[in-house]
Amino acid sequence: MRDLHLICVGKLKESFYREACEEYRKRLGAFCRLTVTELAEERLPQNPSPAQIAAALEKEGGAIRSRIPASSRVIALCVEGKLRSSEELAEMLRDWDQSPERSLVFVIGGSYGLAESVKRLVQVRLSMSPMTFPHHLARVMVLEQIYRAFKIGEGSAYHK
């Protein structure tokens, strides 16, 4: 059983997001050892300057990088990422299962995204949609899609 890590900037405050994430954590237990790491989002003023945003992203980026295990394949969720189907994500998980990397890491940034330093170190940039979603909802969506990918891999009727 492989290790899967979800590193997220920001804490889930709403109970409905926490409950949905917990449900997918339970379901994923049959397929992987899942670790979810929540990192604090840097506080910014009401109307931050681009320099303030960049500095905050770099600080968050340092915290993210420090949590990525050695020998990991890293996937960042970001707006400039590639759109992939659920079947393509399932294929990525199958490839990872055959790879020497021990861990698969998904990274979700905060409300301002991810630092360029994080994006440069990842193997895959993934986009959920051209639409904008709250990063807390993105966490639920990623967990569901990872679960769906495992179910596709086993040939389950979950994915129709």
Burial class (CB in 10 A: 0-12, 13-18, 19+), 153: middle
Under the banding of pLDDT at 50, 70 and 90, the label for residue 1 is low
Does residue 146 fall inside a structural domain?
yes
| Res 28 pLDDT > 90 | yes
Rounded CA separation 87/85 (Å): 5
* pTM, to two decimals: 0.93
Tell me if 128 sits within 8 A of 85, measured CB to CB.
Answer: no
Instruction: Give residue-wise pLDDT tens across range 114-131.
Output: 999 999 999 999 999 988
Q: What mean pLDDT is predicted for residues 6-10?
A: 96
Does residue 82 fall inside a structural domain?
yes
Rounded CA separation 133/50 (Å): 21
Whole-number average pLDDT of the chain? 93
Rounded CA separation 93/91 (Å): 5
Tell me if 111 sits within 8 A of 141, measured CB to CB.
Answer: no
State the amino acid at position 111 in one-letter form: S
Does residue 149 fall inside a structural domain?
yes
Does residue 135 fall inside a structural domain?
yes
| Res 141 pLDDT > 80 | yes
96 or 27: which carries more pLDDT confidence?
27
Residue 141 CA to its chain's centroid (Å): 9
Does residue 158 fall inside a structural domain?
no
**Rg of the chain over all Cα atoms, to the nearest angstrom:** 15
Under the banding of pLDDT at 50, 70 and 90, the label for residue 133 is confident
Rounded CA separation 160/158 (Å): 6
Does residue 159 fall inside a structural domain?
no
Rounded CA separation 99/2 (Å): 11
Instruction: Give residue-wise pLDDT tens across range 48-66.
Output: 999 999 999 999 999 999 9
Under the banding of pLDDT at 50, 70 and 90, the label for residue 135 is confident
Q: Which domain holds residue 78?
A: 2-153
Does residue 27 fall inside a structural domain?
yes
Tell me if 88 sits within 8 A of 40, measured CB to CB.
Answer: no
- CATH number of the domain that 51 lies in? 3.40.1280.10
Number of domains composing the chain: 1
Any bridge partners for residue 107, and if so which?
7, 76
Does residue 160 fall inside a structural domain?
no
| Res 159 pLDDT > 90 | no
Share of the chain above pLDDT 70, in %: 99
Burial class (CB in 10 A: 0-12, 13-18, 19+), 9: buried
